[in-house]
Copies of this chain bind each other. A is one copy, B any other.
Amino acid sequence: MTGLLDGLRRIVGESYCLTEAEAMERYLVEERRLFRGNAIAVARPADTQQVAQVVALCAQLRVPVVPQGGNTGACGGGVPQAGAVVLATERLNRIRAIDTANFTMTVEAGCILADLQQAARDAGCFFPLSLGGEGSCRIGGNLSTNAGGINVLRYGNARDLMLGLEVVLPDGRIWDGLRSLRKDNTGYALRHLFVGAEGTLGIITAASLKLFPAPRERQTAFVAVTDPQAALELLNLTREITGDAANAFELLPRNGLDIGLRNMGGRDPLGERHAWYVLLELSSPRASGLRAALEEVLETALARGLVLDAAIADSETQRRELWRLREVTAGGHQHQEGGLIKHDIAVPVSQVPEMIRRGTAACEAAIPGIRVIPFGHMGDGNLHFNLVQPLGWEPQRFFAERERMNRIVHDLVHELDGSISAEHGIGLLKVDEMARYKAPLELELMQRIKEALDPLGLMNPGKVLPPPAQQR
């Protein structure tokens, strides 16, 4: 271990090799405190070369390496186990190049997402990846978990925004796949293996990302709908009338909004109470009459009985107020209502109403008084199917039901050909679920890839893939 620490200090410098408990603390826990890890050291390399040297040293000494970006992951993917070295990418935070004529930027893994959004804006472009943690999450982590967020409907996931990668491989060699090409059919798409692999196949140190023309026109509405089926029909109607102009179509249930407003403040802009809402936003990189299009959507939907009421933002301030309703729905029940069991699921968009109807009924039958709050990115078929404890329970009593409730929700997702992790990844939290729901053949293929690229099994061990014994 002395050899390891001496080596790490030599590579990254004394002050960037943390070993004191207090200094390491923030790298060992994650936001929700579901997992607490431990580590020999936290290494904070300055650049790709240092990352490569740290990984090579760890490979030589057979020490596991756990890469960490902003440590904002929702599934414990960045939490280290005892005996590991945490490799924090936060000092790799340079924007290496912006090519506005190619609509690309080349950035290092430790860049904070919001900083990249700003850099794109400063260059007259738009980088669409946007999510709750954008002020502190880092692009390497976003790519390693294939982050989603609020603009996926129009622009895709982190994966879709990536053209090339630089990766430090498990043996410490650097793969330079940092191309900025829209087309490149020269062999296997290695870059796609590292996206979503949560650092288990190597460490992303830099990426070439797509930029887009900046939105010039935006129209945002907060819409009361009769039920999730009406929301689905509203989505289809929106597409029929506006084509692909919708960049956000977020479903919000009344109960989640109520809890949010109560715990985080704010007010409902509509006069009456309704059971379901949609936050609908259209955008276009040119002035193209979106307001009229939005009004046509809403009037048609009103006439068909899908929509009961709606508020359209008339200013950027009002737009932010409407988006805040989405934020309080997402955030209000997460801390102040006691026990919470979260699910990040996706089904085909056409199955969302079925998922909500059957999932809610099954959860309420299992625990009378449970508060089911399915909200989120309906346009992508992605719901955060969150369960809040009944009023008056002790949180621990509710947490004891976690396994049973996971089973109810995930069994239904599985039946509907859905995904048990739409945008949060697997990490530690869902490794057992992988073993349960993935076909053995698919796990076997993933395991073969893992062994082909990381034969020593040192890259973020224990994450994503169940142990082989559990797979068969």
Contacts and interface: CB of A to CB of B under 8 A. Distances in A.
B348 A184 contact: no
B186 A420 contact: yes
Interface stretch (A86-94, A192-200, A298-306, A324-332): A192-200
Interface string A212-242: 1100100000000000000010001001111
Interface stretch (A3-11, A17-25, A314-322, A433-441): A433-441
A446 B196 contact: no
Contacts of A380: 182-183
A422 B176 contact: no
Contacts of A146: 185, 189
A380 B185 CA distance: 13
Contacts of A445: 169, 175, 188, 190, 453
Interface residues of A, number: 93
A152 interface: yes
Interface of A: 99-104, 145-146, 148, 152-153, 157, 159-160, 169, 173, 175-177, 179-190, 192-193, 195-197, 201, 212-213, 216, 232, 236, 239-245, 284-286, 288-289, 293, 346-351, 377, 380-382, 417-426, 430, 434, 437-439, 441-443, 445-446, 448-453, 464-465
Contact of A285 (B104, B157, B244, B347): B244
B213 A244 contact: yes
B187 A464 contact: yes
A175 to B, nearest CB: 6
Contact of A243 (B192, B285, B377): B285
B186 A193 contact: no
Contacts of A216: 243
Given A188-B196, A349-B103, A181 B442 contact: no
A424 B187 CA distance: 11
B188 A419 contact: no
A437 B418 CA distance: 41
A298 B355 CA distance: 50
A322 B288 CA distance: 26
Nearest to A450: B188
Nearest to A380: B182
Contacts of A232: 101
Rank and list the top 7 A-B pairs by shortest CB-CB distance, nearest first. Answer: A243-B285, A192-B192, A101-B350, A452-B452, A184-B419, A183-B422, A288-B288
Contact of A213 (B239, B450, B465): B239
